A and B are shown apart, each in its own frame.
Chain A
Amino acid sequence: MASVDIVNARKSYGDQEVIHGVSIGISDGEFVALVGPSGCGKSTLLRMIAGLEEITGGDIRIGDMIVNGLPPKDRDIAMVFQNYALYPHKTVAQNMGFALKLRKVSKSEIDARVQKAAEILGLIPYLNRYPRQLSGGQRQRVAMGRAIVRDPKVFLFDEPLSNLDAKLRVQMRAEIKELHQRLKTTTVYVTHDQVEAMTMADKIVVLHDGIVEQIGSPLELYDRPANLFVAGFIGSPSMNMFNGKIRAGAKPFFETASGARLPLAKAPESSDGRDAVYGIRPEHLSLGGDLNIKVTVIEPTGAETQVLGKVGEDKINGVFRERVTTKPGDLLAVSPDLSLVHLFDLKTGNRIG
């Protein structure tokens, strides 16, 4: 186990830079999720930690050792790949024991450790099978088994669940989390799925186009997104956003581009007339109030009801625990929870209140 420190790390392919000076501190035993849209550089960053990509600038430290030039084999890390990368010519047991064998661990010790990992992952019946004889979920477990028998300093996961079906994904999510609670190994987990990141991680790093947008606990990111990108990326269904102007005064409000008025608890200092973005999460709207939504679609799921509609020219989306009796074309009166309204600067996208 060890901490991982990434200090101003950069990566270029040829003259194209894809990681633009990223700094992340990961403490010992922490579960960190790297999340961001496809192509934002998550895998590249993970592979830089693993030593599979050279870094073009900055430092990466594992424990108190700078590992910039160290080959992967000397970094004492284990990695689970998206396509599992199981050795097709080796059995499950051989796959899991390969790293130990390379380290000249005795045969009996290897057997014992493989056995123990297989027990944890429920792989005992499959130890003598080949990867091609396993289902997707089983292969995924073997890939994890290969990582945990090593007892490495750091686990690296690159979208390990994205090849599984939805149900299995939820199940494996819980299993990986449980495994982490049991082993307490420092973990860096890459995913493009914000729900996965929210449910599993102690700390989330939101990446976008090779820069860090925000680092924080899942709830920090949810409650106080630092900018428009994080606000739109974290949370499902995603936050309602309206472009317009702040109107300060005795009774402040927000005027959307199409003229609708949205309530504000208070306006940020000297912000009257400022171009801004008003954000409110669908689940932070409640029924009753003086904001009228023109309903277009109603989606009841039993536990909650999702209402899609329009305020002025802008689309809005509300999620209510109550049963909603309305139909498309009707007006639905709602009110935003004023303490949970987000304001962002229109130009910079940064949070202003």
Chain B
Amino acid sequence: MPHALKRSLIYGALIIWTVIALFPIFWTFSTTFKVAKDVQLGHIIPWVDFKPAWLGLRAIGLSPDTIFTESTPRAEFVKRFWNSIQASFGASFLALIVGSMAAYGLSRFQYRWKIWKNNDISFFFLSQLILPPVVLAMPFLVLYKELALLDSMLGLILIYALSVLPIVIWIMKDQFDTIPQELEQAAMVDGCSVWGAFLLIILPIALPGMVAAFILSVILCWNEYFFAALLTSTNAKTLPVMVASQTGSQGISWWSMAALSSAAILPLIIIGVFLERYIVKGLTTGSVK
């Protein structure tokens, strides 16, 4: 019986861990349906501990009684949600295009800038991650003010693209390095130009890595708070900033904050459940044998 015992122990541990991991998400979702008293008393289980109410969803205009009416909070929420989508997808897309080309160059051509060679350039890109974003706060505030990019979606996309670029380059260079150079050489002998070989042969092979890099940077941009809070106000504000602003002068409105948080983590949960295997595949497997 030790085998069965071992199995049940493993499954037991996994179940416990699952509960621990899922609890914050459950708590966020359920708090959406609590009133102030339930939050303060720490009621956990719906219908047993507390009676679900529509408070949270009503605060963002999504409860059954408000959903078909004109609603300012809902318009506000939808706008922030859409901003977040634009910023994270736009920035990831931009970073993926620029980053893939940079990574391909670093993987295939020998560069030399003063005493810097490919490895030094790669490390320089990666080293940008070491710097805390706070260092960039003042310069970017000044720069964006001068360029009239404050509170604009374009400005947000640009800085997000910049901040995920090192990771994209890193992932994509790793991908390209695993693809044998003979593949594009064969393509060139077959009749491709350098660009043709890159677009027709190398990109399709590097696709799993690109998908992984894209998803990862969407997640990073989606969660970004600091620059959004710093560089945007009424127009380009994103969901995380809106969540944080729920701590008003009359105390925290738990239910609406929970409703917003739920809306903010929902896309990530969907990505996590459905696209996780693409991330793993893209980051672990090289391209060809």
Task: Write the residues of chain A forming the contact surface with B, with a CB cutoff of 8 angstroms.
Answer: 47, 50-52, 71-73, 77-79, 81-83, 85-89, 98-99, 102-103, 132, 146, 150
Contacts and interface: CB of A to CB of B under 8 A. Distances in A.
A71 B185 CA distance: 11
A77 B192 contact: no
A77 B191 CA distance: 10
A99 B191 contact: yes
B201 interface: yes
Closest 9 CB pairs of A and B: A85-B182, A102-B191, A99-B190, A85-B186, A88-B288, A72-B188, A73-B191, A81-B182, A79-B189
B289 A87 contact: no
Secondary structure type dominating chain B contacts: helix
Contacts of B287: 88
A345 B269 CA distance: 80
Given A83-B182, A85-B183, A89-B204, A52 B190 contact: no
Interface of B: 180, 182-183, 185-193, 196, 201, 204-205, 287-289
A52 B188 contact: yes
A255 to B, nearest CB: 53
A102 B192 contact: yes
B192 A85 contact: no
Contacts of A78: 189-190
Contacts of A150: 190
A337 to B, nearest CB: 46
A132 B289 contact: yes
A85 B192 CA distance: 15
Contacts, number: 61
Given A52-B185, A79-B186, A81-B182, A89 B191 contact: no
A81 B190 CA distance: 12
A87 B192 contact: no
A89 B180 contact: no
Nearest to B287: A88
B120 to A, nearest CB: 18
A83 B287 CA distance: 15
Contacts of A79: 185-186, 189
A55 to B, nearest CB: 16
A73 B204 contact: no
A290 B59 CA distance: 112
17 contacts: A50-B189, A51-B188, A52-B188, A72-B189, A73-B188, A73-B190, A81-B185, A85-B183, A87-B201, A88-B205, A88-B287, A89-B205, A98-B187, A99-B190, A102-B191, A102-B192, A132-B288
A85 B193 contact: no
Nearest to A158: B182
Contacts of A98: 187, 190
A62 to B, nearest CB: 13
B191 A103 contact: yes
A85 B185 contact: yes
Given A87-B201, A88-B287, A132-B289, A73 B185 contact: no
A147 to B, nearest CB: 9
B102 to A, nearest CB: 23
A226 B209 CA distance: 54
Contacts of A77: 189
Contacts of A99: 190-191
Contacts of A132: 288-289
Contacts of B192: 73, 102
Contacts of B204: 89
B188 A71 contact: yes
B75 to A, nearest CB: 45
Most B CB contacts (10 A, CB to CB) among A51, A52, A86 go to: A52
A81 B204 CA distance: 21
Contacts of A50: 185, 189
B187 to A, nearest CB: 8
A78 B205 CA distance: 22
A88 B202 CA distance: 10
